[in-house]
Structure 1
Amino acid sequence: MRISEIFLSLQGEGIYQGKACTFIRLAGCNLSCTWCDTRYACSKGEEMTTEQVLERVSAEDCSLVCITGGEPLLQQDQIIPLLKALWDRGYTVGIETNGTIDFSASEEYASICMDVKCPSSGEASDLSLLDRIRITDSVKFVVKDQQDCAYAESVIRGHPIKGTIFFSPVFGSEYSTLASFVLARHLPVTFQMQLHKIIGVK
């Protein structure tokens, strides 16, 4: 599989925010979001075997693993053996995906965080995948402005979502305006800043 990087940090967002986590960032993406903060992960990356990745993860001595990208599910056939191996070894695994690829094959071994693309991203997710979100999964809307918030609200109202729903402001946007939208509309979401950016870690 093509790996951009493997590193230990604090999980900056989602249901495991604040916890130490080993990140496996896969290379390659099928989208080009305007505010993407990991464009370097779209490059070719390093070919690594499942065994090599497991060795690197083991060296970090951390029980929580996040598989991200890029878009990791572009290599879903290759990461399934990795997911199973991590599961068998007792790791808690989460996958961050842009909501354009069916994640069914990965659900047995990992929780899913589906990033629903809002208008400011310039991209779109497959909203039919929201039907697959379980109570142990989550959905994230990266919002930059009120147009994004209004779009996210329409998705939330139109699709019963079983998992936790996050509003994650684009770094540097007007946070108070976005928070006011959530409060005024009584949205069933968790408003969550990107912790890793606030404290200045990778």
Structure 2
Amino acid sequence: MQVCEIFGSLQGEGRSQGRPTTFVRLAGCNLRCRWCDTPGAQDPEDGEEVSVDVVLDQVWRMRRRHVCITGGEPLLQVEEVAEMCRRLHRMDYSVEIETNGTVDFRPVQPFASVCMDVKCPSSGEKSDLGLLSHINSRDSVKFVVGDARDLSYAEEVITRCPVKGEIFVSPVYGTDERGIAAWVLNSGLPVRFQIQLHKHLEMR
């Protein structure tokens, strides 16, 4: 598989925010979000070809029991990712996958939780909203919002496409966090406000 980097940090967002985590960042993405914070992982050629066995050995050496597979869009390499998740699951790791919601994530759901990042208008991209019906109670959905149009879009999607997992609303870094928090507080929607912890702590 094409791997950009493997590193340890605190999980900065989602259901496991604050948890010590080993991150496996894969190379290659099928979207080009305007506010992408990992442009170095967009091109598959930015990664190094590494076997699943080598990745698992590096994960084991990190000595953390929680693993996040991210990108880029990791599910563009779904066969290798599914194999890695199966093996981590057998070794009693907890695994989560961050995905942009354009690739079917059902092959990995038996072995990992999914965080689907629903792309809002400010990103310049779109997710497949049909995938929301496959989100289960272990999974989550994230809306990264930058302005009022994004908030309106998030409200429309949440109202029209109920999901079983937890829903997060997260401001694009550098935008009006207080205003977005107030919107969440007053919206009456079943959502949770969350800032990107790693940005505020200036961690990876």
Return the TM-score normalized by structure 2.
0.98
Matches within 5 A, 1:118-137: 118-137=120-139
Pairwise CA distance, 1:176: 1.3
In 1, the alpha carbon distance for the partners of 2:74 and 2:159 equals: 28
In 2, the alpha carbon distance for the partners of 1:174 and 1:13 equals: 18
Which sits farther off after the overlay, 5-14 or 36-45? 36-45
Pairwise CA distance, 1:184: 2.4
Q: Give 1:18's aligned residue.
A: 18
2:4 is paired with a residue whose SS is strand
Contact 2:135–2:165 (CA under 8 A) maintained in structure 1 = yes
Q: Give 2:179's aligned residue.
A: 177
Q: Give 2:83's aligned residue.
A: 81
Query: How many residues end up aligned between the 2 structures?
Result: 202
In 2, the alpha carbon distance for the partners of 1:90 and 1:182 equals: 36
Which aligned runs of 4 or more in structure 1 are off by greater than 6 angstroms?
none
Residue in structure 2 matching 1:60, options 54, 59, 62: 62
**What percentage of aligned pairs have identical amino acids?**
54
Which sits farther off after the overlay, 172-181 or 58-67? 172-181
Contact 1:146–1:181 (CA under 8 A) maintained in structure 2 = no
Q: Give 1:197's aligned residue.
A: 199
Gap regions ≥5 residues in structure 2: none
Which sits farther off after the overlay, 162-171 or 180-189? 180-189
Counterpart residue type for residue 146 of structure 1: A
Matches within 5 A, 1:97-112: 97-112=99-114
Does residue 147 in structure 1 map to residue 146 in structure 2?
no
Residue in structure 1 matching 2:93, options 88, 91, 94: 91
In 1, the alpha carbon distance for the partners of 2:13 and 2:187 equals: 23
Return the TM-score normalized by structure 1.
0.99
